[in-house]
Amino acid sequence: MSNVILITGAATGIGNLAARSLAAAGHTVYASMRDVAGRNAGHAEDLLGHALREGLDLRVVELDVTSDPSAEAAVRTVIGEAGRLDTVVHNAGHLNVGYVEAFTPEDVQHLFDINAIGIQRVNRAVLPHMRERRSGTLLYVGSTTSVVVPPFLGPYVASKFAADALAQVTAYEVGQFGIETTIVMPGPFTQGTDHFRNASRATDQERSRAYAHLDPMVARNEEATAALFTPGVDAHPRAVAEEITRILALPRGARPFRTVVDFTEAGVEEVNELARRAQERFITRMGFGELLRVRGGRD
């Protein structure tokens, strides 16, 4: 069944690849990004040109996840044009690299605004529509960093922890309105995204200099990450886009709550399974076991 899908952060990387993959699978896809007429004009034109050449229903919409009015306007545009919105793919995100102490509170606040609070903005814009229809899917692009906790990415890891928790607790509630949740957890990728290249640094340079003896480790962080991949494996983020497309092709009720796309063999799946069992036991003992199941919705 064809869905109307909104993807955040679709200018580059996983979001861009997912937009192409989902549109090729027959969905109506709204690839959202900031500043469509400015800094991302080239990315928008490239997507629209691809859609025209391939005969795909792939559109571009302005959406800045750090702005309430922008999120609300984007959702209004999608519903106004397509008549409904079935799925949101929460993909927008940014990476910070550096020593935790050297990130000012403002640095951390800004990253949380993109990686976690941005999800809340978009959900608040779309959930009234989904609740009214008693149907929909929230698909979050999370991260294995919230399990393996790598060094030198402190604010990023914390923001992904927060986003994951927000997704889980939201799922309890919206599931009672027939809205499904899936969290896709990509491992690290050193090709096919601008994550490392566009990463921000801590702004307090004096505090950063206090950790100078660790600078060689930070300098080889990307190299160390790449060394985790099994030789010969094509560790490309297109695998995440393909997994998102596979999940959204599954029938209602058959989609996993979590799935991992990781080429580093970090053991995240085992941790997820242990956490799931403990969580289910705890919620059931509280007498809230029904929140672990998505209600039938309108189907």
8-state DSSP, 286 = T
Cβ atoms of 85 and 32 closer than 8 Å: no
Q: Is 28 helix (H, G, I), strand (E, B) or coil?
A: strand
| Cα gap 196→16, rounded to integer Å | 17
Is-catalytic flag, 156?
A: yes
Alpha helices (H) in 134-179, listed in sequence order: 145-148, 154-174
Q: What is d(CA 2, CA 77) in angstroms, rounded to the nearest whole number? A: 19
Q: What's the gap between Cα 53 and its chain centre?
A: 28
Q: Which residues contact 293 (CB under 8 A, 6 or more apart)?
A: 175
Out of 30, 99, 140, 156, which one is annotated catalytic? Answer: 156
Please state, in angstroms and rounded to a whole number, the distance separating the CA atoms of residues 285 and 283.
Answer: 5
Question: What is the amino acid identity at position 235?
Answer: A
Distances (CA, A) of 207 to 100, 199, 235: 9, 18, 35
Catalytic residues: 156
